[in-house]
Amino acid sequence: MDFSDRHVVVTGGTGALGTAVVGGLLERGAVCHVPYIAAAEAESFRHRGHERVRLTAARTLAEEAEVSAVYQGVAPLWASIHIAGGFAMAPFVETDKAALMAQLEMNLVSAFLCCRAAVRAMQQGGGGRIVNVAARPALEPRTGAGMVAYTVSKAGVAALTEALAQEAAGDGILVNAVAPSIMDTAANRRAMPQAPHALWPKVEEVAATILFLASPQNAVTRGAVVPVYGKS
């Protein structure tokens, strides 16, 4: 997979999965544009000083003006990878409208607006690749008990991916998504110390699937929501 001199936006790029994705892109020659919301994550970002990394502060990715500012200086845009999002777990009867809207904004609205900005840029550049990040409950909603708002938001990301893939295909834009199960990160291990960590997919393994879908070598795959569950 060769990304030499190709410009790629990676939202959520300073997180655990994002860091692995950016690392893989840099190894393959990409120029990575990484919007961040949490300043502390940006400060500790492993690839912060790399000559082909462009860090950009953003207040939110759920507002049109903020998203437009992120994509405005990226040209030509080859790929846009949307990892940014949020997770919340709560009983359904304790999930109010504010909690639902927070999940929709962090996960679905941010992906929608970033996809729109990316498509606009790629239509001018002759095509490209978009990769969203859904989640296992998006494909298996019954596993979303206790996190219904999160499940609904990620199911929306999966539907967005499939519908947009059909609409954008004529412009040479291939749109896909991955749907990870719980990933093996330090934060998830702390949250679930008794869980079978060895069965969880590693972030580098999930990143490898994302990199292929975003690469020029992916010439035909579109509209896929790829399960990346490992052995779990």
Answer yes or no: are the C-beta atoms of 228 and 181 closer than 8 Å: yes
Q: Say what the pTM is.
A: 0.97
Tokens of 119: 């498509």
DSSP string, 59-106: S-SSSHHHHHHHHHT--SEEEEEE---------GGG--HHHHHHHIII
- The pLDDT of 139-164, averaged and rounded, is 98
What pLDDT, in 10s, does the model give residues 91-129?
Answer: 999 999 999 999 999 999 999 999 999 999 999 999 999
Closest C-alpha among 23, 192, 17, 48 to residue 8: 23
Q: CATH class for domain 7-228?
A: alpha beta
Are the beta carbons of 82 and 12 closer than 8 angstroms? yes
Tokens of 11: 């939202």
Mean pLDDT of 73-90: 96
Q: CA 214, CA 232: separation in Å to the nearest integer?
A: 25
Calculate the CA 147 to chain-centre distance.
19
DSSP 9-64: EEETTTSHHHHHHHHHHHHTT-EEEEEES-HHHHHT-TTTT-TTEEEEE-S-SSSH
Residues 49-71: what's their mean pLDDT?
Answer: 97
Q: What is the pLDDT of residue 19?
A: 97
Count CB-CB contacts under 10 A for residue 134.
27
Band (pLDDT 50/70/90 cuts) for residue 75 is confident
Q: Dump pLDDT digits (tens) for 212-226.
A: 999 999 999 999 999
